[in-house]
Structure 1
Amino acid sequence: MIYEFQVLTDINIDALLGNYNDRLRWIKQRGYIPSLSCKELEGNVNLVILRLEGDQSGGVFRNEDVVYIFKHQISEILAEHIVKDWEDKLLRREIMRSCRHLPLDERNSVHQRAADFLKKCHDNESLNLLMNFSRKNRITHRLLDYISTNLTVNVEGFINFCMQDYLTELKFAVEVALEELRNQKEYNDFVNLLRYFVDTQPPKIYEVNLMMGANGIFYLWDGQGTKIEENYINYYLDEMLMDEINLDDVLISILITIAPRKIILHNVANLNSEPVEMIKSVFKEKISHCPGCERCYQYAPSKDQHKH
């Protein structure tokens, strides 16, 4: 019995070749001889010939059973080849199609974000089961159906004509990445606007000390240790009561209004909260960190009860 299947692919096949040998141990143990040969055609296309020889018709498994198992192994190998080796090229192709208007550095950013999104889907157990495992399984079954009635597969043609749902998932990853990039650009523009506002108005208070507490509570005092007037907070009180603005927004708005030339952060070394990161982005060189003072210990986050 001799069975032969041919694969045409223009992506590096080193991983495919190693995977081939690893997966066929069971077939070898049954006395069959799988082999593989490869040659490069024009246009850097690799022709891979997968071959199975042997005859154990008197054994437990019929030849046709072993051939079916061989086809299934080929399907799994090619599915991994597509997901691991083709995906980067397919992402770049989709980015060139949908993000051609973007400069190169932004296209590269979209590519990195899309690849990270797909990697997170792979690394996260739940998302992996939902997307990556399902994706690979679908490709495997689609390949097995194809291999059952064909003796040659052109991997790129198979992806384009038989795996539109897979391409749609890659397109979705690019759309997610593009939306992230837009949001980041909008955030950066907003931060730059706030920085311009802060830099072009005189400070109402030269130095502000800030301590962040639990549940968004914050403490503000000036360079002389005096609590900053309640007027700044009362200005936003009505909006806070109507749930139209939260404490984080109030804090940032107060600091923008005061426009201090120096902000000392207390007890935030291990606090990566959104308002703290925004404040760092807006005030940058005006920011310094308290190494530890009496108030740091007195108003540690675990003791938060009321604004001080």
Structure 2
Amino acid sequence: MELFAIIVMKAEEPYVRSLSAQIESELKLLHIVESGLFVHYALFETHASLHIEALIEEKNVPAIRKEVSQCLADALAEHIMVDKEYAILRNLIMKEFKYEGKEDVEAIESYCKQSLHTETVMEEASLLNSGISGRLRRKQVLSDQLVLALEETSRLSLDGFLKFRLQDYTDELREIAEYAIDEFMMDRQYQEFISLLQYFVYIQEAKIPVAHLIHKGGHEFVILNDRLELIDANEFDASFKLEVLEKDINFEDMIVSTLITVSPANIYIHTRDPEMTIIKTIRQIFEDRTTVCSYCRTCDIYLGEAKHQDQLSP
């Protein structure tokens, strides 16, 4: 007796075979050996149909259908999240948020993938606590909607379900897309800002030969000249353009502001934490003017003796 049929439009055989295997794997968890439960599929020119059947007495059909529908819903929910979620997100990005450029769409998608990866990590961590990740919540939403759909009909169009029955699920994906777009815009503004600062540094003539940027840890920095004396930025004439730049961009990082004001030909960055964001930003702005050092005499004096000898990294 056929319990359910899943209709998939315009599907290639490898896709249908994979989906059939996913469903069969999930159904095996029911251990209904006596029912003779099995899955097979048929391909047609316009669609494919997957059939879930069971050799079972009619009186046992209601109980078995309920078990099978829940198991089938879980399998299809996982399938949608693994094989369809990125396509749904891409459609939201392009159709709803009106991003059409290939590079922009791919960049936003990469932020979406980061969010989804974080959710997967959280899901794995939930084995150690009672937290429920967004991924688990979305899967539950999908599974619940699929169960309702399978209660209404034994022949389910997967494409129709994806198009018309996924409002709550799509709303959650829309939030992920919105977050990704915010991150994308912030990153774009940051890169434009960095490019502006790079240009400003490029057109300035060097005012001093060397500056030593001492990173004492955390957000504590000291800037010294080539004689290892404290630099007073007030002794230098700040460019009008820099003042305008700071006002417009609301640039609050006084370290970068001071370095741009004193305009060293070379900057030696003495730090035990070269991967710190502000260090990376300074290197990005001043480019080949910078050298990061974590082991030298100056480092020893101001930062203490290093545990391991590191090399100068240009």
Given the two structures, how large is their TM-score scaled by the length of structure 2?
A: 0.81
Note if 1:262 corresponds to 2:247: no
Shift of 1:302: 10
Q: Deviations over 1:7-65 (max 9, x none)?
A: 1225624443233232233544541112222223335x3321111222396xxxx4422
Instruction: After superposing the two structures, state which structure 1 stretch, 181-190 or 273-282, moved more.
Output: 273-282
Describe the shift of the 1:247–1:276 C-alpha distance in structure 2 as closer, same or farther (beyond 3 A).
farther
Note if 1:5 corresponds to 2:9: no
Give the equivalent residue in structure 2 for 1:53.
55
Q: Hey, what's the Cα distance between the residues in 1 that align with 2:251 and 2:174?
A: 38
Shift of 1:295: 2.2
Describe the shift of the 1:106–1:292 C-alpha distance in structure 2 as closer, same or farther (beyond 3 A).
same
Q: Secondary structure at the match of 1:206?
A: strand
Q: Hey, what's the Cα distance between the residues in 1 that align with 2:30 and 2:296?
A: 71
Q: Hey, what's the Cα distance between the residues in 2 that align with 1:4 and 1:63?
A: 8
Shift of 1:213: 1.9
Instruction: After superposing the two structures, state which structure 1 stretch, 128-137 or 279-288, moved more.
Output: 128-137
Question: What letter corresponds to residue 251 of structure 1 in structure 2?
Answer: I
Q: Deviations over 1:81-138 (max 9, x none)?
A: 1111111221221122035444211111111211221221222247971411111111
Does the 8 Å contact 1:5/1:51 carry over to 2? yes
Give the equivalent residue in structure 1 for 2:199.
196
Question: How do 1:210-289 and structure 2 match up within 5 A?
Answer: 210-229=213-232, 231=234, 249-268=253-272, 270-289=273-292
Describe the shift of the 1:214–1:299 C-alpha distance in structure 2 as closer, same or farther (beyond 3 A).
same
Q: Hey, what's the Cα distance between the residues in 2 that align with 1:20 and 1:287?
A: 57
Does the 8 Å contact 1:99/1:107 carry over to 2? no
Does the 8 Å contact 1:5/1:152 carry over to 2? yes
Q: Hey, what's the Cα distance between the residues in 2 that align with 1:86 and 1:230?
A: 56
Q: Secondary structure at the match of 1:72?
A: helix
User: 42, 45, 49: which one pairs with 1:42?
Assistant: 45
Question: How do 1:53-132 and structure 2 match up within 5 A?
Answer: 53-55=55-57, 62-125=60-123, 129-132=132-135
User: 161, 164, 174: which one pairs with 1:161?
Assistant: 164
Instruction: After superposing the two structures, state which structure 1 stretch, 117-126 or 254-263, moved more.
Output: 117-126
Does the 8 Å contact 1:212/1:301 carry over to 2? no
Shift of 1:232: 6.5
Q: Secondary structure at the match of 2:83?
A: helix
Q: Hey, what's the Cα distance between the residues in 2 that align with 1:26 and 1:93?
A: 34
Q: Hey, what's the Cα distance between the residues in 2 that align with 1:298 and 1:248?
A: 29
Identity %: 21
Q: Secondary structure at the match of 1:261?
A: strand
User: 134, 152, 156: which one pairs with 2:155?
Assistant: 152
Question: What letter corresponds to residue 278 of structure 1 in structure 2?
Answer: T
Describe the shift of the 1:302–1:168 C-alpha distance in structure 2 as closer, same or farther (beyond 3 A).
farther
Q: Which runs of 5+ in 1 are unaligned?
A: 236-245, 304-308
Describe the shift of the 1:271–1:259 C-alpha distance in structure 2 as closer, same or farther (beyond 3 A).
same
Describe the shift of the 1:291–1:217 C-alpha distance in structure 2 as closer, same or farther (beyond 3 A).
closer
Q: Secondary structure at the match of 1:129?
A: coil
Describe the shift of the 1:301–1:88 C-alpha distance in structure 2 as closer, same or farther (beyond 3 A).
farther
Q: Hey, what's the Cα distance between the residues in 2 that align with 1:143 and 1:287?
A: 58
Q: Hey, what's the Cα distance between the residues in 1 that align with 2:304 and 2:235?
A: 23
Does the 8 Å contact 2:20/2:40 carry over to 1? no
Q: Deviations over 1:270-302 (max 9, x none)?
A: 342222121111011111122511221222279
The alignment's C-alpha RMSD in Å is: 2.8
Q: Hey, what's the Cα distance between the residues in 2 that align with 1:225 and 1:163?
A: 65
Does the 8 Å contact 2:223/2:230 carry over to 1? yes
Question: What letter corresponds to residue 47 of structure 1 in structure 2?
Answer: S
Would you say how many aligned residue pairs link Structure 1 and Structure 2?
A: 285
